[in-house]
Chain A
Amino acid sequence: MTTQKNSGFRKIILSCAIVVIGVLMVFHQSLFSLFTKAELEAKIEPNSIIMPAAYKVYGNETALDGKYGLFKMLLTNNGKTAARNVNVTFEIPGYIEETNLKKVPLILPGQSILVNCFPKFKEDIVEKRTASREVVNININGLNIKEQTESFPIEIKGRNEYVYTQIPVDEILSPAELIDNADLLGCFVTPEDPIIKYFTQQIQEKILKGESASVMNSEQEAVRFLGGIYDATYLSHMVYSGTSGVPTEIGDATTVVQSIRLPREVVTGKTGLCIELSVLYASVLMNAGLDPIIYLIPGHAYPGFRMNGNFYAIEATGIGGEGMKGGRSSAAQAFEVGMKQLQEFMQYAQMGDERYQIIDIRETVKNGVSAMELKDDTFLRGKVDEIARSFESGGMAYSQPQSGFAEMGTNTGAGNTTGNQQNNRGNSPSTPSGYKNYKGKVSFSYPSSWASNPTQMPEMVGYFSNANYDTYAEVYEFRNTSSPQQALGMIRQYMNQLGGDMQFSLAGQTNGFQVFNGQSYFSGNSLQWVAAFKPVSAGVAGVIVGKTVGYGNPSQTVIENILNSIH
């Protein structure tokens, strides 16, 4: 009987053992992880510097495709068991308290997890005036992993400091990488700064006596506004002051760190570098609703804007200073210099010279680059008032010169026409000897030796050139538009389809024609031209007269003669 009882107990114990084994099998992973540790390996790519001016960019994951994070980390589980409930935190003592970055429920053996850190700095970081060296601490913990702490040093610059590139010098592959942080220049453009808003209002009211550039989308009005900003800097006796960037070692990289005064500091301090003046212009233009552009060229920068697909520029440093050799330029002169530089810029940029870069501020804003928050300041407003009193004497109020075609045709080198040629302007200029007439919705004279060639674009109704095809006149008639600019836009569209491109800008108006300077790039050639277009019944008609770049003076007289004969 006892034997039977013992056998019964044994069977019960056996049953219990089977149940326990079953439970262990079901929950083996969780139980196993309590007693075994996963092995996480962290691979970190840190950022070596923080520019306070760009603090909003660092905190925005989508800004510039996430280029400017604090660090990125690859966590790989090299163990034989899954890592559970992994938590990653980071801190920058004195700047950012310990913050959760990522919680991962499970990292399988062999699996990697990506952790990107986009730190949210407090707004008061823009009050930081000087650089300091700080530490970033990263903590990794979890249910079955050994807690790890990783640290790396970081340099937090002063708010005015701008670092051109963070690419190590021996890694630089192209000139563009010397200004790899070009987009961050947008952080120094502060259109919403109350002081800049106030300064803009003063220009609009006291210098321009009202302006409507952004409302009317008028290029002429926008050029007048550009001149108004120049007048404001000129009349306030703002001066150009040079300084050089300081070569600095940051991590593995040697770079140039430049101190860039904020636009409000440039206005009230009445002195600025080329880059600072460019940033000031960009801030004011943007505040007025225009699309500001900063042109970067080797060793220099100048501002401008884009409207209706056309680019404009002004040489902001033309204000010079009374003490400087070369004196001070008027707004018109500064604009002329800027536009000449722009032509050169386009030529180099089209040839692929990466040292020539356009910073389209609105585009950078669209890509997540945000300006720093700046508070209103009564003292600075008072300074702006003081400056604005100098505006009372009246600005030079830049106005577009109204002149003949040839004077406007600076692109072709056809400027400075003689008095006789100017006298040819009128409704029916006489035909120069050796020329014959083209008559249509627009009429002009061209050399008798020129041949009439087959036209290309459907709207092109005439195409005349010399035997080498390096100097030419094209006649256009558009039916679907009454705007000369739109007509030129259609030509550009047509060229784009064929792999070419063109740039043009309004140079002025005369005899009912709108005159444009332009440059085309096509089949590896660069063409410079002047276009004269006017609205006609049911459309737009006009002539483009140009030459291939590289063919110099011999064709200039011909171009001048053609331009002056257009009616």
Chain B
Amino acid sequence: MKIIKNHILTLLLLILCSFQLQAQQELKGTKQKLDITVDEMGNANLSITTKYNASQWDIFKKTVGSNQAYLKRMMIKAMPKYFLTDFEYEEQPMDRSYTFKMKAFAVTQPDENGKWEAELDMKDPDITKLNDHTFTMNLNMISNGMLIEQEQKINLPPKAKNAKLEKNSFGSAVLTYQLKTGSSTPYLTYLGILMILIGAGMLLVNLRKQNQNDKNQSEFY
């Protein structure tokens, strides 16, 4: 999930490109909301909502905001390692905000034990676990004199368990969680074990009975 950092970079780029110099005004952060929803296959749906003030919105609309293909290109460039698809752009002009959505494949990947991993590509992130499958992170960055207040939310699959932050061998944060990856339900396995036990029990009893019968027969003769 290096996506998260890359997104920040992308959005910074957007800011740098779209922000021109502002008149004297109170310094207020630009609000950004980044939602990452990971499905059971490890793919992620990303939704980035950015809200501007009047002046910023005006400049945004005159530059990159009028060319959604350019926004898409910037996203692709900012995440060169990923396959991105399903781009969507929604604008809320009355709120001076826009939402950019896309899907990224294979953001998290499992190991053979059903443990899924997502690299956050940052050290000691200030991340809060809301529940077993939801995390939030608030990032404040100053770039070119501009304050950017970003709220990130990571939604893991509802069936995810034991989600936690770990460190990889390079000291970078890794978000891990358990998710059953079997292509069939575990009940079949449990039923199989039960059948083995019943079968083995029956076999034992029948073998004993058979032995007893053989013994009785030899005594009879």
Residue of A nearest to B142 (CB): A496
Contact with A along B189-218 (1 / 0, CB 8 A): 101111111111111001101100100010
Chain A positions within 8 Å of B206 at CB level: 8, 11-12, 15
Mark interface residues in A72-90 (1 if CB within 8 Å of B CB, else 0). 1010100001100000000
Q: How would you classify the secondary structure of chain A's contact residues: helix, strand, loop or mixed? A: mixed
Which A residues touch B41, using CB under 8 A?
108, 110-112
Q: Is A462 an interface residue, CB under 8 A from the partner?
A: no
**Of A14, A66, A501, the contact of B21 (CB 8 Å cutoff):** A501
Question: Quick check: A15 and B200 within 8 Å, CB to CB?
Answer: yes
A72 to B84, CA, bound (A): 12
In the bound assembly, the distance between CA atoms of A395 and B83 in angstroms comes to 56
Q: Which residues of A contact B9 (CB under 8 A)?
A: 65
**A229–B80 CA distance with the chains assembled, in angstroms:** 38
Contacts of B181 in A (CB 8 A): 82, 106, 108
In chain B, what residue has the closest Cβ to A8?
A: B210
Q: Is the CB of A105 within 8 A of B111?
A: yes
B145 & A501 in contact (Cβ 8 Å cutoff): yes
A216 close to chain B: CB less than 8 A: no
CA distance A106 to B78 in the complex (A): 29
Residues of chain A contacted by B21 (CB below 8 angstroms): 350, 499-501, 521-524
Contact A5 B183 (CB under 8 A): no
The answer for the CA separation of A17 and B196 in the assembled complex, in Å, is: 9
Within 8 A of A (CB), among B43-91: 43, 63, 67, 69-70, 73, 77-83
Q: A113-B106, A352-B17 are in contact. Are A19 and B81 (CB under 8 A)?
A: no
Question: Contacts A18-B195, A74-B105: A497 and B145 contacting too (C-beta < 8 A)?
Answer: yes
Q: A538 in the interface, Cβ–Cβ < 8 Å? A: no
A1 located at the interface, meaning its Cβ lies under 8 Å from any Cβ of chain B in the complex: yes
Whether a CB of chain B sits under 8 angstroms from the CB of A25 is yes
A41 to chain B, nearest CB (A): 12
- The answer to whether the Cβ of A498 comes within 8 Å of any Cβ in the partner chain is yes
The closest CB in chain B to the CB of A1 belongs to B217
Q: Is B157 engaged at the interface, CB distance under 8 Å to the other chain?
A: no
How big is chain B's contact interface, by range?
35 or more
Contact of A22 among B77, B83, B193 (CB under 8 A): B193
Give the chain B neighbours of A110 by CB distance below 8 A. Answer: 41
Is A4 engaged at the interface, CB distance under 8 Å to the other chain? yes
**Which chain A residues border B146 with CB–CB below 8 Å?**
499
Contacts of B1-54 to chain A: CB distance below 8 A: 6, 9, 17, 19-25, 27, 41-43
Picked from B73, B82, B106, B189, the residue with its CB within 8 Å of the CB of A173 is B73
In the complex, are the beta carbons of B111 and A65 less than 8 A apart?
no
Asked if B188 CB lies within 8 Å of chain A CBs, one says yes
CB neighbours (8 Å) of B70 from chain A are 173-174
Q: Which of A16, A29, A81, A106 contacts B203 (CB 8 A)?
A: A16
CB-CB under 8 A for A82 and B183, given A8-B209, A22-B192: yes
- How many whole Å from B195's CB to the nearest CB in chain A? 3
Q: Please report the C-alpha to C-alpha distance between residue A111 and residue B189 in the assembled complex, in whole angstroms.
A: 22
Asked if residues B196 and A116 are in contact (CB atoms below 8 Å), the reply is no
A108–B182 Cα gap in the complex (Å)? 8
Task: Report if A43 contacts B (CB, 8 A).
Answer: yes
- Distance in Å: Cβ of A109 to nearest Cβ of chain B: 6
Q: Are B112 and A105 in contact (CB under 8 A)?
A: yes
Distance in angstroms between the alpha carbons of A104 and B106 in the assembled complex: 13
Question: Are A29 and B195 in touch, CB under 8 angstroms?
Answer: no
Bound-state Cα–Cα, A499 to B25, Å = 8
B188 adjacent to A28 (CB under 8 Å): yes
Contact between B24 and A523 (Cβ–Cβ < 8 Å)? yes
A21 neighbours in B (Cβ, 8 Å): 192, 195, 199
Question: Looking across the interface, which residue of chain A has its beta carbon closest to that of B106?
Answer: A114
Q: How far is the CB of A538 from chain B (nearest CB, A)?
A: 29
CB distance from A78 to the nearest CB of B (A): 12
Closest to A20 in B: B199
With an 8 A cutoff between CB atoms, is B99 at the interface? no
Residue of B nearest to A75 (CB): B106
Please tell me if B144 contacts chain A, counting CB pairs below 8 Å: yes
Task: Judge whether A69 is part of the interface by a CB distance below 8 angstroms.
Answer: yes
Flag whether B184 is at the interface (Cβ < 8 A). yes
Any B CB within 8 A of the CB of A129 = no
28 chain-A/chain-B pairs, Cβ below 8 angstroms: A5-B210, A5-B213, A11-B206, A12-B203, A15-B202, A18-B196, A25-B191, A27-B192, A28-B188, A65-B6, A106-B181, A108-B181, A110-B41, A111-B42, A111-B106, A112-B43, A112-B83, A113-B106, A114-B109, A116-B81, A173-B69, A174-B70, A495-B145, A498-B24, A499-B22, A499-B146, A521-B21, A523-B22
Binding site for A on B (CB under 8 A): 6, 9, 17, 19-25, 27, 41-43, 63, 67, 69-70, 73, 77-83, 105-106, 109-112, 144-146, 181-184, 188-189, 191-203, 206-207, 209-210, 213, 217
A residues with a Cβ closer than 8 A to B are 1, 4-5, 8-9, 11-12, 14-29, 43, 45, 65-67, 69, 72, 74, 76, 81-82, 104-106, 108-114, 116, 173-174, 350, 352, 456, 495-501, 521-524
Further pairs besides A65-B9, A82-B183: 5, Cβ < 8 Å: A26-B189, A26-B193, A108-B183, A112-B43, A174-B70
